[in-house]
Amino acid sequence: MNEQRNVELIDNLLEELEFAKTQSDLNDLSSMVAFFKSYYMDELMKLQEERDKREGKQTRKAPLRRDVPYNARKHKLDDMATRCALLPHQFVENMQHNRFIHRPPSIPSEPSIVADKYISPQFNTGMAVMSNVCRFLAQQLGAHPYLRKLNKKLYMDKAMLETKPTELG
């Protein structure tokens, strides 16, 4: 199921890339690229290393990554996110169908108690853990192509521009 969704997203990306005519269209596609990077950066790095080995290139040392998804996965905060919140694709399915298909998981204790299990040198308090889990989920949702499209549509449908004439006209 997840593989099928990824294939559909890649097909949509390629189709939109083919029909992109303006800079605005390309900017919209950059969000989809960010979406794929947030989920598949590790796999992309492995593929790049394999390609370099095949071509006989000297493998480059990867630069130090400081982005939110990488740090969340490194410190297992993505595990806490799956225990305490809906996954991004589940949230999107709820939005697409305009009802609760997936419910948030119920945790047996307070979120702060669950967060205490994920304390590390980089995230030294439960509040820091919860804050970074929220940031991780926000970035995942913010990069999701369907949610971006939905927000843009709602903005175009509901936004109002109000102007007042000035003394100069």
- pLDDT in the model for residue 154: 87
Domain ranges of the chain: 2-158
- Which residues neighbour 111 within 8 Å (Cβ) at sequence distance 6 or greater? 84, 130
pTM as predicted: 0.64
Question: Could you give the dihedral angle defined by the CA atoms of residues 36, 79, 88 and 94, in that order, rounded to the nearest 10 degrees?
Answer: 160
- Residue pair 150/97 in contact (Cβ under 8 Å)? The answer is no
The 10s digit of each residue's pLDDT in 58-100 is 666 666 566 777 788 888 888 888 888 888 888 988 988 888 9
21, 34, 115, 125: which is closest to 77 by C-alpha? 115
